[in-house]
Structure 1
Amino acid sequence: MIKSWMVIGGVAFIVAAAGSLITSSDRKWFQRLQRPRWLTFEGAIPLIWTTIFICGAWSAYIIWEREPGSSNTWLLMSLYLLLEIVTIAYTPVMFRLRSLKVGTILGGTGLIICIILTLAVLSISGWAALLLVPYLLWSPIGTYTTWKMMSLNPQDI
């Protein structure tokens, strides 16, 4: 029998893999952008997001196990999926459109979805809500960084 954590992890992996569909010209566009001087942690960003996605999947697993298959649980799973899709869309959509403004909007949208999701799961499981805190802490930093990059790269808004 397939375990729920396998399905949740598999879906998270598939969505994340879809987000890696960027071209070399997309990468070159992003590499040439100016960054704020205080952005010294850029190399750690993939590790940070990997940790956040693991925490999110673990949170989803806890919620699923509390009331598997209920309509409320399915609704929450759709919010987890929407959050991951919006978050993963940040890079390929921003790169393809070459628009830091779009990246800022997607970052802010992810934060709003995560706030709603955290409030929704809080009454079901404090641990599930706590596992979403890394997203709530990091997303504003990433969104602010992208927003700040707009003023440094006005041609790429």
Structure 2
Amino acid sequence: MEVNVIFSAILIFIIVYLLFSLSGILFPIDRTWYASLKKPSWTPSGKTIGIIWAILYALIALSLAIVEYKIGLKNTSITFMLLWVINYLANQAFSFFEFKAKRLDLAFLDTAVVAITTLLLIFATLQYSVLAAILLIPYLIWSTIATLLAWSIYRLNK
């Protein structure tokens, strides 16, 4: 049985990592358009942002894999799973709003939804695993920074 639980947790990690990476494939960055935008001086480079997200996706996937390993996702609450779905969809929607629709206002609102649902996820995850909840803290920090950045870019370009 232990092997099945470990395999299931590894599978969750891989699936979640790939799913979170999907928006970059579906809605690639329009580098020319993004470069033309006015941005605050503290805007990280595209390469830095990419590295941050790669690390965050691993932490997000590991967090959910830990919950799978400890109790199984099927044993979590509907609220927990709903928060994950909303957070995931909002995370994916950012690339659509920012790079496909070029709607800086919606991109900003979307990042706020990501930050808020990440905070709620941390609290919801605590009941299943303190470590899994702690792994989401960098995601909350970055999504808050991303919200401030998206707001700044929107204000500078409206």
Query: Aligning the two structures, in what range does the TM-score lie when normalised by the shorter sequence?
Result: 0.7 to 0.9
Counterpart check, 1:33 vs 2:37: yes
User: What is the Cα-based RMSD across aligned positions, in Å?
Assistant: 2.3
Question: Deviation of residue 69 (structure 1)?
Answer: 4.9
Contact 1:108 1:143 survives alignment (8 Å) = yes
Give the 3 Å change call, closer, same or farther, for CA 125–69 of structure 1 in structure 2. Answer: closer
Contact 2:13 2:65 survives alignment (8 Å) = yes
Q: Secondary structure at the match of 2:25?
A: coil
Question: Deviation of residue 116 (structure 1)?
Answer: 1.0
Question: Deviation of residue 64 (structure 1)?
Answer: 1.2
Question: Deviation of residue 15 (structure 1)?
Answer: 4.4
- The Cα offsets for residues 87-110 of structure 1, whole Å up to 9 and x where unpaired, read as 122012222221111111110001
Counterpart check, 1:10 vs 2:10: no
Residue in structure 2 matched with residue 113 of structure 1 by the alignment: 117
Question: For residues 45 and 68 of structure 2, what CA distance do their matches in structure 1 show?
Answer: 34
14-23 vs 138-147, greater mean Cα deviation = 14-23
Question: Deviation of residue 19 (structure 1)?
Answer: 4.0
Contact 2:56 2:138 survives alignment (8 Å) = yes
Counterpart check, 1:68 vs 2:72: yes
- The Cα offsets for residues 117-151 of structure 1, whole Å up to 9 and x where unpaired, read as 11011122110110000011111111101100112
Counterpart check, 1:131 vs 2:135: yes
Contact 2:66 2:132 survives alignment (8 Å) = yes
Using structure 1 for the length normalisation, give the TM-score.
0.83
Question: For residues 121 and 42 of structure 2, what CA distance do their matches in structure 1 show?
Answer: 31
Counterpart check, 1:84 vs 2:88: yes
Residue in structure 1 matched with residue 100 of structure 2 by the alignment: 96
74-83 vs 105-114, greater mean Cα deviation = 74-83
- The Cα offsets for residues 37-95 of structure 1, whole Å up to 9 and x where unpaired, read as 22244430011011111101111011111212534266534533432221122012222
88-97 vs 6-15, greater mean Cα deviation = 6-15
Question: For residues 12 and 127 of structure 2, what CA distance do their matches in structure 1 show?
Answer: 24
Q: Secondary structure at the match of 1:36?
A: coil
Where does structure 2 lack aligned partners over 5 or more consecutive residues?
Answer: none
Residue in structure 2 matched with residue 143 of structure 1 by the alignment: 147
